[in-house]
A = this chain, B = another copy of it.
Amino acid sequence: MAGSAMSEAARVPLGMLAVFASAKLVRELFERMKQPGIVGEILAGVLIGPHVLGWIQPGDVLSALSELGVMFLLFRIGLEVKPSELLRLGPTALTVASGGVGLSMIFGVLIALAWGQTMLGALFIGAAIVATSVAISAEVLASRGLLEARASRTILASAVVDDILGLIVLALVSSYARGQMNWMELTLTAALAIGFTLFVAIWGHHAARRMVPRMEANLQLADAQFTLAMTVLFGLSVLAVYAGVAAIIGAFLGGVALSETVGERVHTMTNGVSELLVPFFLAGIGMSFDPAVFSNGGTILLAMVLLVAAIAAKLLGCGAGALRLGKRDALRVGVGMAPRGEVGMVVAQIGRGMGVMTDSVFAIVVFLSVATTLVSPPMIRVAFRGAREAEPQARADEIERIG
């Protein structure tokens, strides 16, 4: 085979090997040092990414695998959550998410104004730090067998509400930036997102319980249940995007809807896909980290102040919203809601596109999503200390399922 044809033929398996194996290797090293494995996988991405070793250049294929990875992560988590529980947690989730979103916005705007930004620029910086990225917390909690804990359930439910609030904040800020507030459009946007989420959360599992067994019985396909599950996963992810929320919210709700219907085999098959693809999501976060953010003192200072404020906002805001669960669980919910992610980057991209956000501010937003993601797992571990002992039955179930 000609040399170029050979390197072309090796591209896909070589890329898979480099990302997958280095993520798992660094994860293993971290776990041996009793550090969170997820931090190891993200750092593996920093290491092999374009700014350090340069083994891997981000591109369409990697970002698609990373998107699929986070969709499968949330879908798999959703499969472990009962819909009734999600709905029961609705009121708490509403106060938790509102507290965190509100305080993040206030902190972000005040710091940005103090730093000399225009009101519009400040609003975009605020909007870029409102949205929690639940995937990271979910991974930490799942890998430590803590998904059954009450605080974990509250985090998952709040993240769904948080995503809708983030969408509304972005719609408000964009509308303000265009110079007129189109209330009709804003109301429609919010109604569509809320309607979609409530509809799937309330009716999804009823529909699944009725239709999946019936369709499965009628299908000739091997592994019909898995095929139906994948169709639900991708279908709801698409609908979620068109309803204005993130694809992963659709994936999560799809998992919840199917949690009482699909069998153990579908769980294991889904775990296979998720074990394969989640490293691409985690390493992908690391690859997006650009050390250029540390090029001058002012930027470093702003980045650090915003980092502390972003974490404090969720700790205090979400914690206050969860106080009815007791102080310990309120703290757990607060740290679990701290990681930020791709939603912030989308906001920042729109802000940059509108010319109200400079490149260095954009780099700070990317830095914040990597940094909150890196510092949260150790905080989650500390905050959840004792959660296992508190719920021995749930833990035993988890062990049984994992084993």
Contacts and interface: CB of A to CB of B under 8 A. Distances in A.
Interface of A: 1-2, 5-6, 9-10, 12-14, 16-17, 20-21, 24, 27-28, 31-32, 37, 59-61, 64-65, 67-68, 71, 143, 167, 170-171, 174, 219-223, 226-227, 230-231, 234-235, 237-238, 241-242, 244, 246-247, 250, 265, 268-273, 275-276, 346, 349-350, 402
A351 to B, nearest CB: 11
B2 A174 contact: yes
Contact of A61 (B32, B60, B174): B60
Contacts of A235: 17, 21
A237 B13 contact: yes
A68 B402 contact: no
A220 B220 CA distance: 41
Given A28-B219, A64-B65, A268-B272, 15 more contacts: A1-B170, A9-B247, A10-B238, A12-B67, A12-B71, A13-B247, A17-B231, A17-B238, A21-B234, A27-B221, A28-B220, A28-B221, A31-B220, A37-B220, A268-B268
Contact of A275 (B5, B171, B234, B269): B269
In the assembly, how many copies of this chain are there? 2
Contact of A10 (B9, B12, B241): B241
A275 B223 contact: yes
Contacts of A71: 12-13
Given A2-B350, A268-B272, A346-B1, A9 B221 contact: no
Contacts of A276: 230, 273
A13 B227 contact: no
Contacts of A241: 6, 9-10, 13
A196 B182 CA distance: 66
Contacts of A273: 272-273, 276
Contacts of A31: 220-221
29 contacts: A1-B244, A2-B350, A5-B346, A6-B242, A6-B244, A10-B241, A10-B242, A12-B67, A12-B68, A13-B237, A17-B235, A17-B237, A20-B231, A21-B234, A24-B227, A27-B221, A28-B220, A31-B221, A37-B220, A37-B221, A60-B61, A61-B61, A226-B275, A230-B275, A230-B276, A269-B272, A269-B275, A270-B272, A272-B272
A222 B278 CA distance: 13
Contacts of A272: 226, 268-273
Contacts of A27: 221
Contacts of A1: 167, 170-171, 244, 346
Contacts of A21: 231, 234-235
Contact of A269 (B238, B247, B269): B269
Contacts of A17: 231, 234-235, 237-238
A251 to B, nearest CB: 8
Given A227-B275, A247-B9, A24 B221 contact: yes
Contact of A230 (B6, B20, B242): B20
Contacts of A265: 268
A343 B190 CA distance: 52
Contact of A222 (B268, B350, B402): B402
Nearest to A266: B272
A165 B244 CA distance: 54
Contact of A234 (B13, B59, B227): B13
B61 A64 contact: yes
A400 to B, nearest CB: 14
B271 A16 contact: no
A231 B27 CA distance: 14
A242 B230 CA distance: 35
